[in-house]
């Protein structure tokens, strides 16, 4: 399982541990990923995904998964979330 957020594409970064003696050793900064089930109002079901805590706050701020995916760029989304986005867009077009 890769350590990449499925909604924002946020992944590991690299940097240094710096000791008191100013010795530098390489390290990785990992994103705070959580396994969550987000509810889609349009589809009427939950969607399981692995997203960062920051992405979870952003989804909440924008008003839910459907509205977040409407604004999201396709290049940042994972393949599984891209399928969900297309399902949502198709269901919204059918209801309109």
Write out the chain's pLDDT in tens, 96 residues: 789 999 999 999 999 999 999 999 999 999 999 999 999 999 999 999 999 999 999 999 999 999 999 999 999 999 999 999 999 999 999 987
Domain 13-95, CATH number (from 3.90.1150.10, 3.40.50.720, 2.30.170.40, 3.40.50.150): 2.30.170.40
Please say whether the beta carbons of 40 and 88 come within 8 A.
Answer: yes
* Token code pair at residue 28: 């990785």
The pLDDT tens digits for 13-38 are 999 999 999 999 999 999 999 999 99
Give the pLDDT score at 2: 85
Please say whether the beta carbons of 7 and 22 come within 8 A.
Answer: no
């Amino acid at each position: 399982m890769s350590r990449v957020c499925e909604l924002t594409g946020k992944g590991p970064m690299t940097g240094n541990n710096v000791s008191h003696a100013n010795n530098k050793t390489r390290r990785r900064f990992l994103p705070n990923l959580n396994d969550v089930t987000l509810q889609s109002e349009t589809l009427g079901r939950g969607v399981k995904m692995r997203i960062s805590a920051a992405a979870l706050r952003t989804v909440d701020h924008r008003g839910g998964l459907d509205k977040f995916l409407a604004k999201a760029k396709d290049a940042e989304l994972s393949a599984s979330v891209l399928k969900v986005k297309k399902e949502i867009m198709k269901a919204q077009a059918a209801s309109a």
